[in-house]
Amino acid sequence: MKKLWGGRFSKNTDKLVEDFHSSISFDKRLYYWDIKGSIAHARMLGDAGIIPQEDSRKIIIGLEEILAEIDSGKVEFDLSAEDIHMNVEVLLIKKIGDTGKKLHTGRSRNDQVALDTRLYLRAEIETIQGLLQELSVTILDLAEKHLETVMPGYTHLQRAQPVTFAHHLMAYFQMFVRDKERLEDCNKRVNISPLGSGALAGTTFPLKREQVAEELGFSRITLNSIDGVSDRDYVIEFMSCASIIMMHLSRFCEELIFWSSQEVQFVDMDDAYSTGSSIMPQKKNPDVAELIRGKTGRVYGNLIAMLTVMKGLPLAYNKDMQEDKEGLFDTVDTLKKSLLVFSPMIATMKVNREKMLTASKGGFTNATDLADYLVKKGMPFRDAHEVVGKLVAYCLSNDKSLDDLSVEEFQGFSPLIKEDVYREISVYTCVEKRNSPGGPASEQVKTAIEAGRKVVK
Ligand code: ARG
């Protein structure tokens, strides 16, 4: 087929080159936005008197028909037409004849591809925000059920101080709220129309850039034609947001994997979200959580690839930039699938309250509280720390927990310790006393959940 840009060429493109530089196999997924963008451009060309209104109408009708045909799966894209932009143009010319050749007036594929990608990304950001919203609600629902479920809080993966499962879950809630805000902010820079930047130096035609931007729902137009076509910050920024979301999911998954181990048994993944082993009949593996953790790597990879593609590019457009799409699409797909499967996975898992409680009683998670108890009885904190350290060593060599000690045993270490110590160091008291704002006491977590409900509304 004759190329749309074939005028100055006297030879056909090499077959290998055609295959190598063609992007239709992946950028065809932009067809909807490409056509919407072209319709807005065509309407503007007519309104501005750059082409006759009659031609503008013909082009728009033709484009609408092409959109319906692609939607219904009737269209075979042509590899030799290189990309989605020229495929649509070829289809248009085939459909309406020479009038179709007027569509590309005052436009370049350089501003067109930036337009399409921004429109695509804006829609995907909205979908992803919806998925984050669903996940946040799932977490709130789960947290509400576990306000009294005491579990050990960890530092260095060593039992540290008792918290509740609700409080632990609400830490993730905060992360996903930030993630949604970050996407909101990213979208401010995505939702800007580059159309009218031309190849790089604008155009000699009196384009109404604002009209196109408004029809397509953009908040404004880009302010420099060179930047308009050479900017891929919006792709990179989105990929950074996606990487952070995947990092949060991956940390959560890492905990779920740990919690579902035979050694811990805090949670039991539903059969529908686990898989077995082909050789070991007893196995039930948390594959979904592992896969999300694993896929985080490729989302980071896409980000680093794109940063690397862009780092040496002179202004303005360079074909290198076509490399943005596969990584972007892969990032969007991976993130959406991960979010989609993660919410029901945590909603359906069984939470083993007894195991969590037992674990929080072991490991001396109430040692700080015992030290605080001594401080309240008049001992300086540093001395209290020393006394409790000795008590822990004593317990370890006698295979006991602090709660198991008799008053006599306690008094061997400090005469300040009395019968009231047991209430003070019960894990329930330890949690409830931590009633500082943002702390694990049920009152605080309830407040956090209520505030969270307002945020996700
Ligand atoms: N397929 C190209 C891309 O994705 C479209 C822009 C091509 N522009 C050009 N001058 N070759 O980047």
Determine the Cα–Cα distance for residues 379 and 315; give it in Å rounded to an integer: 69
Report the separation in Å between the CA atom of 113 and the middle of ligand 1, taken as the mean of its atom positions: 7
Q: Which two tokens stand for residue 224?
A: 């420099």
230 C-beta closer than 6 A to ligand 1: no
Report the separation in Å between the CA atom of 277 and the middle of ligand 1, taken as the mean of its atom positions: 47
Instruction: Give the pLDDT band of residue 14 (cuts 50, 70, 90).
Output: confident
From the options 1.10.287.130, 1.10.275.10, 1.10.10.350, 3.40.50.970, give the CATH code of 13-105.
1.10.275.10
177-209, pLDDT tens digit by residue?
Answer: 999 999 999 999 999 999 999 999 999 999 999
Residue 19 confidence (pLDDT): 87
How many other CB atoms are there within 10 angstroms of residue 12's CB atom? 13
| Contact of 136 with 163, CB cutoff 8 Å | no
104 C-beta closer than 6 A to ligand 1: no
Task: Identify which of 392, 398, 394, 395 has the alpha carbon closest to the alpha carbon of residue 369.
Answer: 392
pTM for this model (two decimals): 0.94
- pLDDT score of 277 more than 90: no
Question: Nearest residue CA, atom 1 of ligand 1?
Answer: 83
- pLDDT score of 39 more than 80: yes
Which of 3, 26, 111, 113 has most ligand 1 atoms within 8 Å of its beta carbon, as the pocket-test mutant? 113
Strands 267-268 and 220-221: unpaired
CATH of domain 364-437: 1.10.40.30
Report the separation in Å between the CA atom of 48 and the middle of ligand 1, taken as the mean of its atom positions: 26
Report the separation in Å between the CA atom of 288 and the middle of ligand 1, taken as the mean of its atom positions: 37
Question: Nearest residue CA, atom 11 of ligand 1?
Answer: 319
109 C-beta closer than 6 A to ligand 1: yes
Instruction: Write down the CATH superfamily of domain 110-146+163-204+218-356.
Output: Fumarase/aspartase (Central domain) (1.20.200.10)
Q: Which residues are annotated as catalytic?
A: 156, 277
| Contact of 125 with 187, CB cutoff 8 Å | yes
Q: What is the SS3 assignment for 151?
A: strand
Instruction: Give the pLDDT band of residue 225 (cuts 50, 70, 90).
Output: very high
Question: Nearest residue CA, atom 2 of ligand 1?
Answer: 322
DSSP states along 62-76: HHHHHHHHHHTT-PP
113 C-beta closer than 6 A to ligand 1: yes
22 C-beta closer than 6 A to ligand 1: no
23 C-beta closer than 6 A to ligand 1: yes
Tell me the mean pLDDT in the region 257-285: 89
Tell me the mean pLDDT in the region 91-103: 98
Enclosing H/E stretch for 350: strand 350-351
Residue 422 confidence (pLDDT): 94
111 C-beta closer than 6 A to ligand 1: no
Boundaries of every domain in the chain = 13-105, 110-146+163-204+218-356, 364-437
Residue 360 confidence (pLDDT): 92
- pLDDT score of 293 more than 80: yes
